Copies of this chain bind each other. A is one copy, B any other.
């Protein structure tokens, strides 16, 4: 089969309006949101149904064409961009954007992979429920991508990562077969739980085409507070207090270093620091519950007074209106945008046990300063989850040396590993962390991963080269072949 025949075949499956081959029209599909990943592809294929996805995968399989599944392209690891050798078609799920059904009394909704997160949240609200996944890209990210990267966001402390929000999946496998696992059950111990394999696998084990997602009661009150604290250690003591006081009603607990606030207030119109005096660290906390605003606010005030008495915080502002609360969240959500304009930085999406965050921050700073004099710490993130966006900036006006990025990554990730942490807390691996992963995972774990990839995608046609390094895959394939030849 020639590539022309494959294209004819694909056009036959998805229709003329379902395939893009023009270079200019393809551009948006080949570039990531942050423009840090770009690739090339012979075609962007946009099926409208699971059956079409299945047929596309079968056609590609016959031709030996590889496939990059793609959603809203808001990922930051290059997982949804093709490589630059035109060896893969882009399979965009954007036209599979239907909410198939809502089961209010079961607190579930069945959605197609191309549904924009915002749409799902809006449909949940119509049913007087919430779908709690919330992240900066809410207006453009798609649920298939959220699930494939096990997206995190600001409300994980209460509701868990995307994994916790998925009851069932529909997946097209590498050979084109469809697995219908669209179950809306809270409990199902009938056999291995296969959905967890595909969640967070970044499209390397199968293509998620639809999901049953879980809905939650809408909170009746939300109290947002912005707190000044002297150190991450004090912030941790406050977190422990807040969890004891509010349990699951603690909906967000974000730690933010002062430089992040200063830069954001400088760069982003309409954002200002509501706490009067300067403070080295801040906490943005949200408590939400089913009681009235007055009751919830009373409980928050009580806890914060105790925290002030205990010296955990030095100043506190409780948002007095929805508008003020939104401003605080805009400040938080704009940090990444503001950060872009501050020069060269080294980004990390790391997690360590929550209890170890203060020690980690104490130890990493002198190491980095010794490596790159003048480097400025720029740390914010989800302290409640032990997850930091640890993005130090080089000194103002300075230029990074060629090896700085790699040296910083190694320093940061080695210390993360020493603390039993993760080099990717919520962003995934993609291409960005693929080769580093080999340094931080045991051989046993890497071999299990490679074995799964070989089992589910023996021809390596689904998002090849992402997550698992090709050499690792080749080595494991050889081991399995040898072991089978020996009759084991």
Contacts and interface: CB of A to CB of B under 8 A. Distances in A.
A386 interface: yes
B191 A441 contact: yes
A272 B63 CA distance: 71
Interface residues of A, number: 100
Given A177-B444, A192-B452, A385 B217 contact: no
Interface stretch (A84-92, A276-284, A349-357): A349-357
A426 B424 CA distance: 32
A65 interface: no
Contact of A186 (B173, B181, B354): B354
A108 interface: yes
Interface stretch (A194-202, A222-230, A362-370, A394-402): A194-202
B243 A107 contact: yes
Contacts of A179: 442, 444-445, 448
A422 B187 contact: yes
A256 to B, nearest CB: 18
A387 B187 contact: yes
A405 interface: no
A20 to B, nearest CB: 30
A432 to B, nearest CB: 11
A279 to B, nearest CB: 22
A249 B106 CA distance: 18
A429 interface: yes
Contacts of A201: 192
A472 B176 CA distance: 21
A180 B188 CA distance: 27
Interface string A409-436: 0000000000011111111110001000
| 9 nearest A-B residue pairs (beta carbon) | A196-B196, A105-B355, A248-B248, A188-B422, A106-B355, A187-B425, A106-B353, A190-B424, A186-B385
